């Protein structure tokens, strides 16, 4: 089998699976080392398998309900497929595509195709069958969306962490209140509104960044980052506010703990106390929200991809909804469900790494 | 002539132009064209179905791309009297016989398709047959109906075909253009139905196959890139080969504000729009010298509210239609949403169309809330309904939604209840086809010959079945008679008189609520020239009809 024969979807899913198992087995190794081979092994194996089953069940449920909801969209998909056609022609196409089959039959067919990697086709207007493959289009669009969400998340964390730490350190002061006010402002500003403001000032008025379009990294790294800067910032700003406030709250509590007092008494510097002793136990909420926020990032990315003409998965989703492309839409929802659940599982496992108490509790 | 675009917001015709050039005043001194460069053209929508021309549903954006890749047998030209005539373009000659039932089309010699195969009579026959629905592998539901009166297309010699029609067809040459949709397609493209919609092979100034310098092709929802055709058959007035550009890239940018932002920011160097407010914005930039602007409302489309007269709709009742006609005030739409730019229309045809009437003679209902309420009462008596209520459909474009909201507020003053719905532009044609609407904001009927509008309003197809592209489901014996007689009337004066009845029938029945003549604005960066097309191959002056702006003469410098 050549590399080219491998369906495109395999790569991101394989990467996700590898990461997932890596975390599982890292925590398994630590647990085994601490409490002994037999007991730890059985606990971890059970916890690991249970988690995987949970993931699978959640994905099924999400795709099932999404598939059902999609069919409530008004109109007839054959109108999108054929356009100028007689009712008889449309009926024939509906039969050929199985659109008249019961929902559970259509869903079963989708599940089988999705999990076996069978490529499915966009139902394309102009020619009802034999349109472009969903995975082909996804292969082009997915990297764009992943890059956008990744850059936005990194930007958000890069700014939120120091600001949150500083705000916690300066809790109650005017500086802290000012930062909170700014955070509220950023939270209430919709990301697409911010996008247009940034476009106006930084693209149209001052030509610093492009107002739209995507340049692949391989084509030009500098142009790539320029093209992704405004969308990433638009998506990140709201998250900065959320993460900053979360971290601030947790750190304020942590800084009141006895061990922090002990650290101060020992003469440790403020910087060391904040970064080495207080930050880690304060990060659990932040970590949880960062994973849950994947949903918000996806939603924001959908809007911003249209604004900035990025051609990512969000654009495909909108197009699929408008054109009632059931197969494509179900595929996208399935993938998003996998990514979302997988990210939350990874975070869940990451707790074991961050907090020894959780690691011991699980092992016990 | 098939619609250049359907649905969407409208600007509309008027005097056009501020400081930007207008059709009446195209730029004359742009300097000597320079070779090289690439135009990145922002279009108002993607063409999701691709460009298998016989079966494609092309709106304005799709027709722009088609015009870069394909040539048509005829093309509209200035007739010197403020109107349009259709002159040979890819064809060397297009001649009817005395009865207008046989049209002899001879193509120019020495022209090749992008794949190197010759343009000849067989290729023309293949294209025309595909459009007639004679190609078993390529569906052409719309054009099958358009050309149902064509009985045969025969090859006479290597460069000549003869088209035989069942009835005298006076304006058949207009259909050989069909708003730029009847491009002549290479046999190789039609022979591969699975790739027909994206493996485009024409004779046009740009190509996407055999590209040498550009990464050509179509990435849906991203861009369509084409390279200059080095073997293109046209030359400019000075004998210089066309096109001047090295390449052209079309990008769908649905949000008109982002399209204008792209032009100002430099990501795009050419755009088109019908949005009145953005056109006004562009005029300011044109005055400042930062963009080159060309506007055209010549042979304009009309923006209007289309009513479904099917039995399932309240508008099957004439009183309901008249009630909405009396309740609405399109001039307010123009003033509030289109910056007052377009001209009000009370009929489907623009002033340069032979079917155009003096507005005073048309007697389309003017806003009168008392009369609207009277019509509502008559509707209630006829139908037993307790109120007049309908759903108003529009695209998701914010400008169009604004118009829908304004119409809603106007008619509600008369006591009519309106529910607003939105559908994305690429789907609105399908929604109209399915008849799944009661009223929809629409844009159609570009100028030229009124015979080309038969497809939208004739009640039945040849088999006797309902005409499925008669979106309004109009069954009007007068309209059918007008189109039947007008098609075959050979005396120009008599023909004009026949067609002039059409706007009056529409006014009396209020099948549609006419709005304004669409004003198209084409804006380029300050170094983009040649927006107005060059002189035609046989020396005639070109025209720009609706959204169809030729890219062949554009240059950067």
* Residue B492 scores a pLDDT above 60: yes
Is the whole-model pTM more than 0.80? yes
Q: Chain B: nearest CA to A135, how far in angstroms?
A: 14
Contact yes or no for A337/A59 (Cβ under 8 A): yes
**Cβ-count burial of B152 within 10 angstroms (0-12 exposed, 13-18 middle, 19+ buried)?**
middle
A83–B431 CB contact, under 8 Å:
no
- A19: in domain: no
Residue B245 and residue B228 in contact, taking contact as beta carbons nearer than 8 Å: yes
Q: Domain containing A222 — which CATH number?
A: 1.10.3720.10
Q: State residue A360's pLDDT score.
A: 63
CB-nearest partner of A76 from B49, B434, B468: B434
pLDDT at A363 over 70: no
* Token output for B459: 């009640």
Beta bridge partners of B118: B112
How close A166 gets to chain B, by Cα (Å)? 38
Q: What percent of chain A has pLDDT above 90?
A: 18
Q: How many CB atoms lie within 10 A of CB B459?
A: 15
**Token pair 């400042």 in the structure block, residue:** B288
Instruction: Please give the average per-residue pLDDT across A332-340, as a whole number.
Output: 79
8 Å CB contact of B427 and A316:
no
Task: Tell me if A334 is assigned to some domain.
Answer: no
A217 domain-assigned? yes
Task: Return mean pLDDT, chain B.
Answer: 90
Q: Which two tokens stand for residue A246?
A: 């979360």
Q: Decide if A348 is inside a domain.
A: no
DSSP-derived letter for residue A171 is: T
| Over residues A313-335, mean pLDDT | 79
Q: What ipTM is given for this predicted complex?
A: 0.72
- pLDDT exceeds 90 at position B58: no
The domain in which residue A181 lies consists of 136-323
- Per-residue pLDDT, A131: 55
Q: Which residues pair with B206 in a beta bridge?
A: B228
Using CB atoms, pick whichever of B55, B142, B255 lies closest to residue A307: B255
* Chain B residues within 8 Å of chain A (Cβ atoms): 48-50, 52, 55-57, 139, 141-142, 193-194, 196-197, 219-222, 251-255, 257-258, 261-262, 264-267, 423-424, 426-427, 429-431, 433-434, 436, 468-469
Cβ-Cβ contacts under 8 Å, B434 against chain A: 75-76, 79
Contact A323 B426 (CB under 8 A): yes
Domain assignment present for residue A120? The answer is: no
The token duo for B242 is 């066309």
Determine whether the interchain pair B426/A322 forms a contact, defined as Cβ–Cβ distance below 8 Å. yes
The pLDDT-based confidence of A100 (bands split at 50, 70, 90) is confident
Quick check: is A67 in a domain? no
Number of domains in chain A: 1
Is residue A89 assigned to a domain?
no
Q: What is the pLDDT of residues B217-237, one digit of tens each?
A: 998 888 999 999 999 999 998
Alpha-carbon distance of A18 to B404, in angstroms, equals: 52
Which residue reads 């861009």 in tokens?
B223
- A235 HSE (CA, 13 A, CB side): 32
Unique residue bearing structure tokens 């939270």: A187
In 3D space, the residue among B458, B254, B319, B500 whose CA is nearest the CA of residue A319 turns out to be B254
Mean of pLDDT values over B262-275:
94
Contact assessment for residue A189 and residue A237, using Cβ atoms and an 8 Å cutoff:
yes
- Which two structure tokens, joined as six digits, stand for A12? 């991101």
Q: What are the tens digits of pLDDT across the range A136-178?
A: 777 888 889 989 999 999 999 999 999 999 998 888 899 889 9
User: Are the C-beta atoms of residues B20 and B286 closer than 8 Å to each other?
Assistant: yes
Segment (H or E) for A93: helix A87-96
pLDDT over threshold 60, residue B340: yes
Identify whether A310 is part of a domain. yes
Task: Answer yes or no: is pLDDT of B20 > 80.
Answer: no
What does DSSP assign to residue A203?
I
Q: Do B430 and A196 touch (CB under 8 A)?
A: no
Segment B316-338, tens digit of pLDDT: 999 999 999 999 999 998 999 88
Closest CA to B544 of B352, B391, B388: B352
Q: How far is the C-alpha of B185 from the C-alpha of B55, rounded, in Å?
A: 12
Contact: A204, B257; criterion CB under 8 Å: no
**Chain B partners within 8 Å of A309 (Cβ):** 222, 251-253, 258
Residues B58 and B519 sit within 8 Å (Cβ to Cβ): no
Mean pLDDT of A5-32: 56
Q: How many Cβ atoms are within 10 Å of A259's Cβ, its own excluded? A: 12
With beta carbons under 8 A apart, name residues in chain B contacting A315. Answer: 221
Cβ within 8 Å, pair A130-B142: no
- Inspect the interface and report whether the beta carbons of B436 and A306 lie closer than 8 Å: no
């Amino acid at each position: 089998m050549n590399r080219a024969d491998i369906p495109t979807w395999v790569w991101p899913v394989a990467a996700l699976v590898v990461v997932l198992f890596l975390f599982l087995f890292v925590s398994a190794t630590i647990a085994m080392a601490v409490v002994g081979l037999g007991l730890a092994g059985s606990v971890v194996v059970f916890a690991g398998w249970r988690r995987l089953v949970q993931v699978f069940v959640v994905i099924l449920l999400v795709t099932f309900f999404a598939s059902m909801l999609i069919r409530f969209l008004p109109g007839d998909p054959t109108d999108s497929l054929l356009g100028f056609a007689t009712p008889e022609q449309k009926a024939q196409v509906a039969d050929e595509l199985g659109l008249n089959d019961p929902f559970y039959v259509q869903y079963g067919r989708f599940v089988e195709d999705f999990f076996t990697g069978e490529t499915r086709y966009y139902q394309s207007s102009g020619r009802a069958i034999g349109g472009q493959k969903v995975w082909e289009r996804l292969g082009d669009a997915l990297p764009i969306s992943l890059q956008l969400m990744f850059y936005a998340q990194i930007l958000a964390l890069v700014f939120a962490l120091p600001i949150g730490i500083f705000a916690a350190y300066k809790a109650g002061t005017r500086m802290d209140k000012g930062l909170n006010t700014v955070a509220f402002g950023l939270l209430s500003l919709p990301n697409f509104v911010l996008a247009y403001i940034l476009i106006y000032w930084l693209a149209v008025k001052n030509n610093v960044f492009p107002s739209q379009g995507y340049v692949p990294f391989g084509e030009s790294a500098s142009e790539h980052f320029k093209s992704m800067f405004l969308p990433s910032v638009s998506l990140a700003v709201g998250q900065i506010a959320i993460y900053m406030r979360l971290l601030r709250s947790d750190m304020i509590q942590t800084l009141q703990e006895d061990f922090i007092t002990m650290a101060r008494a020992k003469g440790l510097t403020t910087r060391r106390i904040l970064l080495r002793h207080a930050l880690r136990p304060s990060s659990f909420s932040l970590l949880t929200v960062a994973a849950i926020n994947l949903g918000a990032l996806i939603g924001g990315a959908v809007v911003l991809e249209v604004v900035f003409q990025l051609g990512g998965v969000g654009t495909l989703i909108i197009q699929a909804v408008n054109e009632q492309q059931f197969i494509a839409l179900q595929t996208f929802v399935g993938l998003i469900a996998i990514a979302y659940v997988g990210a939350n599982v990874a975070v869940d496992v990451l707790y074991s790494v961050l907090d020894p108490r959780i690691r011991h509790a699980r092992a016990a | 002539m098939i619609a250049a675009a359907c649905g969407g917001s409208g600007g509309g015709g008027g005097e056009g132009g501020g400081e930007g050039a207008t059709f009446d005043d195209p730029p004359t001194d742009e300097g000597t064209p320079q070779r090289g460069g690439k135009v990145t053209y922002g279009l108002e929508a993607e063409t999701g179905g691709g460009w298998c021309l016989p079966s494609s549903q092309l709106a304005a954006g799709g027709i722009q791309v088609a015009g870069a890749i394909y040539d048509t047998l005829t093309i509209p030209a200035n007739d010197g009297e403020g109107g349009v005539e259709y002159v040979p373009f890819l064809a060397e000659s297009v001649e009817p016989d005395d009865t207008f039932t046989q049209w002899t089309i001879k193509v120019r010699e020495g022209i090749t398709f992008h794949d190197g195969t010759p343009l000849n009579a067989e290729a023309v026959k293949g294209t025309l047959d595909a459009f007639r629905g004679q190609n078993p592998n390529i569906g052409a539901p719309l054009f099958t109906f358009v050309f149902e009166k064509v009985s045969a297309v025969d090859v006479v010699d290597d460069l000549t075909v003869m088209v035989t029609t069942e009835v005298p067809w006076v304006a058949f040459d207009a259909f050989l253009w069909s708003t730029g949709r009847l491009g002549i397609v290479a046999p190789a493209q039609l022979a591969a139905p699975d790739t027909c919609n994206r493996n485009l092979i024409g004779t046009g100034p740009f190509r996407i196959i055999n590209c040498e310098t550009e990464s050509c092709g179509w990435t849906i929802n991203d861009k369509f890139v084409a390279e200059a055709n080095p073997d293109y058959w046209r030359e400019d007035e000075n004998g210089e080969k066309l096109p001047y550009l090295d390449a052209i890239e079309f990008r769908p940018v649905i949000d008109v504000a982002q399209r204008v932002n792209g032009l100002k920011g430099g990501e795009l160097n050419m755009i088109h729009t019908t949005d009145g407010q953005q056109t006004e914005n562009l005029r300011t930039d044109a005055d400042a010298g930062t963009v080159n602007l060309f506007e055209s409302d010549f042979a304009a489309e009309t923006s209007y509210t289309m009513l479904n007269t099917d039995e399932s709709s309240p508008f099957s009742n004439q009183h309901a239609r008249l009630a909405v006609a009396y309740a609405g005030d399109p001039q307010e739409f123009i003033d509030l949403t289109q910056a007052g730019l377009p001209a009000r229309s009370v009929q489907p045809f623009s002033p340069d169309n032979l079917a155009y009437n003096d507005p005073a003679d048309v007697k389309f209902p003017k806003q009168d809330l008392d009369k609207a309420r009277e019509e509502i009462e008559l509707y209630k008596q006829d139908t037993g309904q307790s109120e007049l209520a309908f759903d108003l459909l529009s695209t998701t474009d914010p400008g169009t939604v604004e118009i829908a909201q304004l119409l809603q507020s106007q008619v509600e003053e008369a006591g009519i209840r309106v529910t607003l719905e939105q559908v994305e532009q690429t789907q609105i044609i399908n929604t109209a086809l399915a008849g799944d609407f009661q009223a929809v904001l629409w844009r159609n009927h570009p100028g030229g010959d009124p015979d080309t509008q038969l497809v939208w309003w004739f009640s039945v197809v040849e088999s006797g079945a309902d005409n499925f592209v008669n979106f309004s489901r109009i069954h009007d014996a007068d309209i059918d008679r007008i189109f039947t007689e007008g098609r075959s009337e050979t005396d120009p004066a008599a023909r004009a008189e026949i067609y002039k009845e059409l706007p009056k029938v529409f006014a009396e029945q209020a099948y549609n609520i006419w709005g304004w003549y669409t004003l198209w604005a084409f804006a380029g960066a300050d170094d983009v020239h040649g927006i107005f097309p060059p002189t035609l191959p046989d020396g005639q002056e070109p025209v720009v009809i609706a959204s169809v702006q030729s890219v062949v003469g554009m240059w950067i410098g």
